[in-house]
Copies of this chain bind each other. A is one copy, B any other.
């Protein structure tokens, strides 16, 4: 770090939220923040996205739930969480310690009514800045993925949730679709306030000695550097097409990766798997992002958003 870094304005506006920088941990890769808080002061974060919350408590899938792959990992956690009531009572209040950090709650479920009920409950909480609808979890049967792969179902879900939500609703899309732009447009038209792309890519690893899938669940979600090109392409395609902000996620390990997503059109970025490799990943990526701006004479990080396609025209 050097003195001139004070000159770089890293802040971005995301919906009604002011983020002091565009970097936030991704859902499911930060739990509810308690553990990370023993590594650094969470106040440095642009925002926090907490783990998927469902109506009832869920135990998730049997283990093994994680496996390593080339430049990535597979997970099949299966939405383990204590249910929305306990999340509100036990987990979210701890984040009041970081008043400058908006808290985004990731919501998952099986049926539209589940999602609506969770969002309704969260709408009464003073600790929730925005909702992220997870219609893209590949790891549970009926875990929302059907909403994430059919534009009509997605739109219906968004409309239903929007009728009860008192907070901005961000929809997190699955990359496991033929036409990501179609999905994005359906959600935008149904009233989504922003989009997050991408959730994990469905994958599998076979245990050669056991001669069966390594994960107890069979398949799992691929994350990490391996999927970054897939995420960049989707953020690029979608952000140049829709008029709502896009949050980019997938394989971000460094400040340069975060910059790549901003250039591709993301207004903010989420960091997932990197937190597992390096508990200090988020603050490091924020520092590296600032440093990159200094070195490249960028005064406000907002200058970078979507430049890769703006230059070519739409």
Binding site for B on A (CB under 8 A): 69-72, 74, 149, 176-179, 201-206, 208, 211-213, 218-219, 222, 224-230, 232-233, 236-237, 251, 256, 259-260, 263-264, 292, 304, 307-308, 311-312
- 18 extra interchain contacts, Cβ-Cβ under 8 A, other than A72-B229, A149-B179, A205-B260? A69-B228, A70-B225, A70-B228, A70-B251, A149-B178, A177-B178, A203-B230, A203-B233, A204-B236, A205-B229, A206-B232, A208-B260, A208-B292, A211-B263, A212-B311, A219-B233, A219-B236, A226-B229
A204 touches which of B71, B201, B224, B229 (Cβ 8 Å): B229
The 7 closest A-B pairs by CB, nearest first: A203-B229, A70-B225, A204-B233, A71-B71, A226-B226, A70-B71, A149-B178
Q: Write out the residue numbers on chain B whose beta carbons fall within 8 Å of the beta carbon of A72.
A: 71, 226, 229
Let me know if B259 and A208 touch, CB within 8 A.
yes
Let me know if B263 and A204 touch, CB within 8 A.
no
Let me know if B204 and A264 touch, CB within 8 A.
yes
Count of chain copies? 2
Interface of A is mostly: mixed
A308 touches which of B201, B211, B225, B256 (Cβ 8 Å): B211
Q: Write out the residue numbers on chain B whose beta carbons fall within 8 Å of the beta carbon of A179.
A: 149
**22 residue pairs bridging A and B, Cβ less than 8 Å apart:** A69-B229, A70-B226, A71-B225, A71-B226, A72-B226, A72-B229, A74-B229, A176-B178, A201-B229, A205-B232, A206-B263, A208-B260, A211-B307, A212-B308, A212-B311, A218-B236, A219-B233, A219-B236, A219-B237, A222-B230, A225-B226, A226-B226
